[in-house]
Protein backbone atom coordinates (compact mmCIF):
# COMPACT_ATOMS: atom_id res chain seq x y z
CA UNK A 1 0.00 0.00 0.00
CA UNK A 2 2.78 2.41 0.96
CA UNK A 3 4.63 1.60 -2.29
CA UNK A 4 1.54 2.41 -4.36
CA UNK A 5 1.08 5.74 -2.58
CA UNK A 6 4.73 6.64 -3.18
CA UNK A 7 4.43 5.66 -6.86
CA UNK A 8 1.32 7.86 -7.18
CA UNK A 9 3.15 10.81 -5.58
CA UNK A 10 6.14 10.38 -7.92
CA UNK A 11 3.88 10.30 -10.97
CA UNK A 12 2.16 13.50 -9.87
CA UNK A 13 5.51 15.18 -9.23
CA UNK A 14 6.76 14.18 -12.69
CA UNK A 15 3.58 15.55 -14.25
CA UNK A 16 3.95 18.81 -12.35
CA UNK A 17 7.60 19.16 -13.41
CA UNK A 18 6.67 18.53 -17.06
CA UNK A 19 3.98 21.22 -16.80
CA UNK A 20 6.43 23.71 -15.25
CA UNK A 21 9.01 22.88 -17.93
CA UNK A 22 6.52 23.44 -20.75
CA UNK A 23 5.46 26.73 -19.15
CA UNK A 24 9.07 27.97 -19.09
CA UNK A 25 9.54 26.95 -22.74
CA UNK A 26 6.42 28.90 -23.75
CA UNK A 27 7.56 31.92 -21.72
CA UNK A 28 11.03 31.79 -23.29
CA UNK A 29 9.60 31.57 -26.80
CA UNK A 30 7.29 34.51 -26.08
CA UNK A 31 10.12 36.71 -24.76
CA UNK A 32 12.37 35.67 -27.66
CA UNK A 33 9.70 36.61 -30.19
CA UNK A 34 9.00 39.92 -28.41
CA UNK A 35 12.69 40.87 -28.39
CA UNK A 36 13.23 39.93 -32.06
CA UNK A 37 10.22 41.99 -33.15
CA UNK A 38 11.23 45.10 -31.18
CA UNK A 39 13.09 47.75 -33.19
CA UNK A 40 16.23 49.54 -32.05
CA UNK A 41 14.32 52.82 -31.72
CA UNK A 42 11.86 51.18 -29.33
CA UNK A 43 14.69 49.80 -27.21
CA UNK A 44 16.21 53.27 -26.96
CA UNK A 45 12.88 54.65 -25.73
CA UNK A 46 12.62 51.86 -23.17
CA UNK A 47 16.17 52.44 -21.91
CA UNK A 48 15.52 56.17 -21.51
CA UNK A 49 11.97 55.81 -20.18
CA UNK A 50 12.52 53.19 -17.47
CA UNK A 51 14.92 55.31 -15.35
CA UNK A 52 12.57 58.29 -15.66
CA UNK A 53 9.60 56.17 -14.57
CA UNK A 54 11.63 54.89 -11.61
CA UNK A 55 12.62 58.43 -10.55
CA UNK A 56 9.01 59.64 -10.77
CA UNK A 57 7.85 56.58 -8.80
CA UNK A 58 10.40 57.32 -6.05
CA UNK A 59 9.59 61.04 -5.90
CA UNK A 60 5.84 60.43 -5.72
CA UNK A 61 6.22 57.61 -3.22
CA UNK A 62 8.51 59.38 -0.75
CA UNK A 63 5.86 61.75 0.69
CA UNK A 64 3.46 58.81 1.04
CA UNK A 65 6.05 56.64 2.82
CA UNK A 66 7.16 59.49 5.11
CA UNK A 67 4.95 58.96 8.17
CA UNK A 68 5.92 60.14 11.67
CA UNK A 69 3.05 58.84 13.78
CA UNK A 70 3.51 60.58 17.13
CA UNK A 71 -0.09 60.52 18.35
CA UNK A 72 0.17 60.41 22.14
CA UNK A 73 -3.52 59.67 22.69
CA UNK A 74 -4.34 56.74 20.39
CA UNK A 75 -7.24 54.42 21.06
CA UNK A 76 -5.70 51.28 22.57
CA UNK A 77 -7.89 48.29 23.35
CA UNK A 78 -7.31 47.19 26.93
CA UNK A 79 -7.16 43.52 27.86
CA UNK A 80 -9.40 43.03 30.90
CA UNK A 81 -7.20 41.70 33.69
CA UNK A 82 -4.05 42.12 31.61
CA UNK A 83 -1.32 44.76 31.50
CA UNK A 84 -2.01 48.07 29.79
CA UNK A 85 1.73 48.54 29.19
CA UNK A 86 1.82 45.28 27.24
CA UNK A 87 -1.32 46.33 25.34
CA UNK A 88 0.46 49.59 24.50
CA UNK A 89 3.60 48.05 23.02
CA UNK A 90 1.43 45.55 21.12
CA UNK A 91 -0.42 48.54 19.64
CA UNK A 92 2.82 50.34 18.73
CA UNK A 93 4.46 47.34 17.07
CA UNK A 94 1.28 46.45 15.18
CA UNK A 95 0.86 50.03 13.98
CA UNK A 96 4.44 50.46 12.74
CA UNK A 97 4.85 46.99 11.21
CA UNK A 98 1.39 46.14 9.92
CA UNK A 99 -0.37 49.47 9.29
CA UNK A 100 2.35 52.06 8.62
CA UNK A 101 4.84 49.65 6.98
CA UNK A 102 8.29 49.04 8.44
CA UNK A 103 10.57 51.34 6.43
CA UNK A 104 13.93 50.88 8.16
CA UNK A 105 14.77 47.79 6.08
CA UNK A 106 13.23 48.80 2.74
CA UNK A 107 15.48 48.00 -0.28
CA UNK A 108 16.59 50.56 -2.89
CA UNK A 109 13.56 50.07 -5.15
CA UNK A 110 11.18 51.25 -2.39
CA UNK A 111 10.62 55.01 -1.91
CA UNK A 112 11.26 54.78 1.85
CA UNK A 113 14.87 53.73 1.14
CA UNK A 114 15.56 57.37 0.23
CA UNK A 115 14.03 58.73 3.44
CA UNK A 116 15.80 59.15 6.75
CA UNK A 117 13.31 60.66 9.23
CA UNK A 118 10.72 57.86 9.25
CA UNK A 119 13.24 54.97 9.33
CA UNK A 120 15.18 56.61 12.17
CA UNK A 121 11.98 57.33 14.07
CA UNK A 122 11.01 53.66 13.82
CA UNK A 123 14.51 52.54 14.86
CA UNK A 124 14.23 54.68 17.99
CA UNK A 125 10.79 53.29 18.78
CA UNK A 126 11.76 49.64 18.43
CA UNK A 127 14.91 50.19 20.52
CA UNK A 128 12.80 51.50 23.43
CA UNK A 129 10.20 48.75 23.03
CA UNK A 130 12.94 46.12 22.92
CA UNK A 131 14.51 47.36 26.16
CA UNK A 132 11.16 47.40 27.89
CA UNK A 133 10.48 43.84 26.69
CA UNK A 134 13.68 42.73 28.46
CA UNK A 135 12.45 44.44 31.62
CA UNK A 136 9.19 42.52 31.28
CA UNK A 137 11.10 39.27 30.90
CA UNK A 138 13.66 39.88 33.63
CA UNK A 139 11.56 41.66 36.27
CA UNK A 140 7.85 42.30 35.87
CA UNK A 141 6.99 38.96 34.29
CA UNK A 142 8.51 36.91 37.13
CA UNK A 143 7.39 36.26 40.68
CA UNK A 144 11.00 36.80 41.74
CA UNK A 145 14.17 37.40 39.74
CA UNK A 146 15.38 33.89 40.61
CA UNK A 147 12.32 32.21 39.04
CA UNK A 148 12.24 31.01 35.42
CA UNK A 149 11.55 33.52 32.66
CA UNK A 150 8.14 33.40 31.00
CA UNK A 151 8.50 31.54 27.69
CA UNK A 152 6.46 34.02 25.64
CA UNK A 153 8.31 37.00 27.11
CA UNK A 154 11.67 35.33 26.51
CA UNK A 155 10.83 34.73 22.84
CA UNK A 156 9.28 38.18 22.41
CA UNK A 157 12.34 39.92 23.88
CA UNK A 158 14.58 38.04 21.46
CA UNK A 159 12.43 38.83 18.43
CA UNK A 160 11.99 42.51 19.27
CA UNK A 161 15.75 42.97 19.70
CA UNK A 162 16.57 42.02 16.10
CA UNK A 163 18.44 44.47 13.87
CA UNK A 164 15.80 46.83 12.43
CA UNK A 165 17.61 47.12 9.08
CA UNK A 166 17.49 43.48 7.92
CA UNK A 167 15.65 42.69 4.67
CA UNK A 168 15.15 39.22 3.16
CA UNK A 169 18.23 39.67 0.94
CA UNK A 170 21.50 41.54 1.35
CA UNK A 171 24.15 41.89 4.00
CA UNK A 172 26.66 39.95 1.90
CA UNK A 173 24.56 36.77 2.03
CA UNK A 174 23.17 34.93 -0.99
CA UNK A 175 20.40 32.99 0.72
CA UNK A 176 17.15 34.62 1.88
CA UNK A 177 16.84 35.38 5.59
CA UNK A 178 14.10 36.49 7.95
CA UNK A 179 13.35 40.20 7.66
CA UNK A 180 13.25 42.45 10.72
CA UNK A 181 9.52 43.07 10.50
CA UNK A 182 8.83 39.31 10.38
CA UNK A 183 10.63 38.95 13.72
CA UNK A 184 8.63 41.86 15.13
CA UNK A 185 5.34 40.31 13.99
CA UNK A 186 6.29 37.10 15.78
CA UNK A 187 7.19 39.07 18.91
CA UNK A 188 3.81 40.77 18.66
CA UNK A 189 2.00 37.42 18.71
CA UNK A 190 4.04 36.27 21.71
CA UNK A 191 3.17 39.44 23.65
CA UNK A 192 -0.51 38.90 22.83
CA UNK A 193 -0.25 35.32 24.10
CA UNK A 194 1.46 36.47 27.31
CA UNK A 195 -1.09 39.18 28.07
CA UNK A 196 -3.97 36.79 27.43
CA UNK A 197 -2.42 34.40 29.95
CA UNK A 198 -1.99 37.26 32.45
CA UNK A 199 -5.70 38.03 32.05
CA UNK A 200 -6.56 34.36 32.66
CA UNK A 201 -4.28 34.09 35.69
CA UNK A 202 -1.85 31.74 33.93
CA UNK A 203 1.06 34.22 33.83
CA UNK A 204 2.30 36.95 36.17
CA UNK A 205 2.61 40.71 35.81
CA UNK A 206 4.01 41.72 39.19
CA UNK A 207 2.83 45.21 40.15
CA UNK A 208 5.39 45.63 42.94
CA UNK A 209 7.24 48.85 43.72
CA UNK A 210 10.66 47.21 43.19
CA UNK A 211 9.62 46.23 39.66
CA UNK A 212 8.49 49.78 38.89
CA UNK A 213 11.76 51.05 40.36
CA UNK A 214 13.88 48.75 38.15
CA UNK A 215 11.88 49.68 35.05
CA UNK A 216 12.16 53.43 35.64
CA UNK A 217 15.91 53.10 36.30
CA UNK A 218 16.36 51.26 33.01
CA UNK A 219 14.41 53.94 31.13
CA UNK A 220 16.41 56.71 32.85
CA UNK A 221 19.66 54.96 31.91
CA UNK A 222 18.57 54.66 28.29
CA UNK A 223 17.56 58.32 28.12
CA UNK A 224 20.90 59.21 29.70
CA UNK A 225 22.74 57.40 26.90
CA UNK A 226 20.71 59.34 24.33
CA UNK A 227 21.45 62.60 26.12
CA UNK A 228 25.17 61.82 26.04
CA UNK A 229 24.95 61.05 22.32
CA UNK A 230 23.20 64.40 21.79
CA UNK A 231 25.92 66.27 23.67
CA UNK A 232 28.65 64.58 21.66
CA UNK A 233 26.91 65.29 18.35
CA UNK A 234 26.38 68.96 19.24
CA UNK A 235 29.99 69.34 20.35
CA UNK A 236 31.33 67.82 17.13
CA UNK A 237 28.92 69.28 14.57
CA UNK A 238 26.99 72.33 15.85
CA UNK A 239 27.34 75.75 14.23
CA UNK A 240 29.07 74.67 11.04
CA UNK A 241 29.15 76.88 7.93
CA UNK A 242 27.36 74.28 5.79
CA UNK A 243 23.92 72.79 6.60
CA UNK A 244 24.06 69.68 8.77
CA UNK A 245 22.30 66.90 6.87
CA UNK A 246 22.85 64.35 9.64
CA UNK A 247 21.26 66.12 12.59
CA UNK A 248 17.74 65.03 11.61
CA UNK A 249 18.83 61.38 11.83
CA UNK A 250 19.90 61.88 15.44
CA UNK A 251 16.83 63.99 16.25
CA UNK A 252 14.24 61.58 14.87
CA UNK A 253 15.83 58.46 16.31
CA UNK A 254 15.70 60.03 19.79
CA UNK A 255 12.19 61.32 19.08
CA UNK A 256 11.06 57.76 18.31
CA UNK A 257 12.68 56.47 21.48
CA UNK A 258 11.14 59.21 23.64
CA UNK A 259 7.71 58.75 22.04
CA UNK A 260 7.72 55.01 22.77
CA UNK A 261 8.84 55.60 26.35
CA UNK A 262 6.20 58.31 26.81
CA UNK A 263 3.54 55.81 25.73
CA UNK A 264 4.98 53.06 27.96
CA UNK A 265 5.25 55.36 30.98
CA UNK A 266 1.66 56.50 30.47
CA UNK A 267 0.55 52.87 30.46
CA UNK A 268 2.65 52.05 33.53
CA UNK A 269 0.78 54.81 35.35
CA UNK A 270 -2.31 52.64 34.91
CA UNK A 271 -0.61 49.34 35.77
CA UNK A 272 1.13 50.66 38.89
CA UNK A 273 -1.56 53.13 40.00
CA UNK A 274 -1.73 51.61 43.50
CA UNK A 275 2.04 51.89 44.01
CA UNK A 276 2.05 55.52 42.85
CA UNK A 277 -0.88 56.36 45.11
CA UNK A 278 0.56 54.59 48.16
CA UNK A 279 3.91 56.39 47.72
CA UNK A 280 2.22 59.75 47.00
CA UNK A 281 3.94 59.96 43.61
CA UNK A 282 0.94 60.73 41.42
CA UNK A 283 1.69 64.45 41.03
CA UNK A 284 5.40 63.95 40.31
CA UNK A 285 4.62 61.17 37.84
CA UNK A 286 2.22 63.46 35.97
CA UNK A 287 5.01 66.05 35.70
CA UNK A 288 7.28 63.34 34.29
CA UNK A 289 4.71 62.51 31.63
CA UNK A 290 4.43 66.19 30.68
CA UNK A 291 8.20 66.39 30.11
CA UNK A 292 8.19 63.19 28.05
CA UNK A 293 5.25 64.37 25.97
CA UNK A 294 6.88 67.74 25.34
CA UNK A 295 10.00 65.99 24.06
CA UNK A 296 7.97 63.59 21.91
CA UNK A 297 5.84 66.41 20.45
CA UNK A 298 8.79 68.35 19.01
CA UNK A 299 8.31 68.38 15.24
CA UNK A 300 10.22 71.22 13.52
CA UNK A 301 9.72 71.82 9.81
CA UNK A 302 13.51 71.66 9.36
CA UNK A 303 15.83 70.22 12.00
CA UNK A 304 18.78 72.58 12.47
CA UNK A 305 22.01 72.27 14.42
CA UNK A 306 23.01 75.85 15.05
CA UNK A 307 25.51 76.92 17.64
CA UNK A 308 23.90 76.86 21.12
CA UNK A 309 24.81 80.56 21.45
CA UNK A 310 23.96 81.49 17.85
CA UNK A 311 20.90 82.77 15.99
CA UNK A 312 19.97 79.47 14.30
CA UNK A 313 18.09 77.09 16.58
CA UNK A 314 19.66 73.89 17.82
CA UNK A 315 16.80 71.39 17.99
CA UNK A 316 18.93 68.72 19.66
CA UNK A 317 19.53 71.13 22.55
CA UNK A 318 15.79 71.79 22.89
CA UNK A 319 15.10 68.06 22.81
CA UNK A 320 17.89 67.51 25.32
CA UNK A 321 16.36 70.05 27.73
CA UNK A 322 13.18 67.99 28.02
CA UNK A 323 15.21 64.78 28.33
CA UNK A 324 17.15 66.31 31.21
CA UNK A 325 13.91 67.32 32.96
CA UNK A 326 12.48 63.82 32.47
CA UNK A 327 15.64 62.15 33.79
CA UNK A 328 15.62 64.43 36.85
CA UNK A 329 11.98 63.56 37.53
CA UNK A 330 12.67 59.86 37.04
CA UNK A 331 15.48 60.14 39.58
CA UNK A 332 13.16 61.84 42.08
CA UNK A 333 10.56 59.09 41.65
CA UNK A 334 13.07 56.26 42.02
CA UNK A 335 14.53 57.90 45.13
CA UNK A 336 11.09 57.76 46.75
CA UNK A 337 10.58 54.15 45.63
CA UNK A 338 13.91 53.21 47.21
CA UNK A 339 12.71 54.25 50.67
Provide the residue-wise pLDDT of the chain in tens; the chain has 339 residues.
Answer: 555 666 666 677 667 767 776 776 777 777 667 666 666 676 666 676 678 878 888 888 899 899 999 999 999 999 999 999 999 999 999 999 999 999 999 999 899 999 999 999 999 999 999 999 999 999 999 987 667 899 999 999 999 999 999 998 876 666 788 999 999 999 999 999 999 999 999 999 999 999 999 999 999 999 999 999 999 999 999 887 778 889 999 999 999 999 999 999 999 999 999 999 999 999 999 999 999 999 999 999 999 998 877 788 999 999 999 999 999 999 999 999 998
Domain covering 207-339 in this structure, CATH number: 1.20.120
Burial class (CB in 10 A: 0-12, 13-18, 19+), 237: middle
137-to-23, 94, 154, 211, 326 alpha-carbon distances in Å? 52, 20, 6, 11, 25
Query: Model-level pTM?
Result: 0.86
* Residues sharing a CB contact under 8 Å with residue 237, sequence separation 6 or more, in sequence order: 244, 246, 247, 305
**d(C-alpha 134, C-alpha 129), whole Å:** 9
Which residues are CB-neighbours of 257 under 8 A, at least 6 positions away?
Answer: 124, 125, 127, 128, 222, 223, 226
Q: Angle at Cα 112 formed by Cα 155 and Cα 304, nearest 5°? A: 100
Amino acid sequence: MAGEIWLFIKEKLRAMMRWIGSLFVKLWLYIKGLVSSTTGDTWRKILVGLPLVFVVYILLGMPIANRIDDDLSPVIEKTAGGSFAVDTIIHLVDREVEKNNWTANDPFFFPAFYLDNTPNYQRGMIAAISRFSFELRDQIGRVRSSSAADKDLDLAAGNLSKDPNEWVLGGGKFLPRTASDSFYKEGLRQLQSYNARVANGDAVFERRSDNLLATLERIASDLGASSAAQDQYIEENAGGFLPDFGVDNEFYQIKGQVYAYAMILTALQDDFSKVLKDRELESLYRQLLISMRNAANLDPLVVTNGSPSGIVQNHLSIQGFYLLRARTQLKEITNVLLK
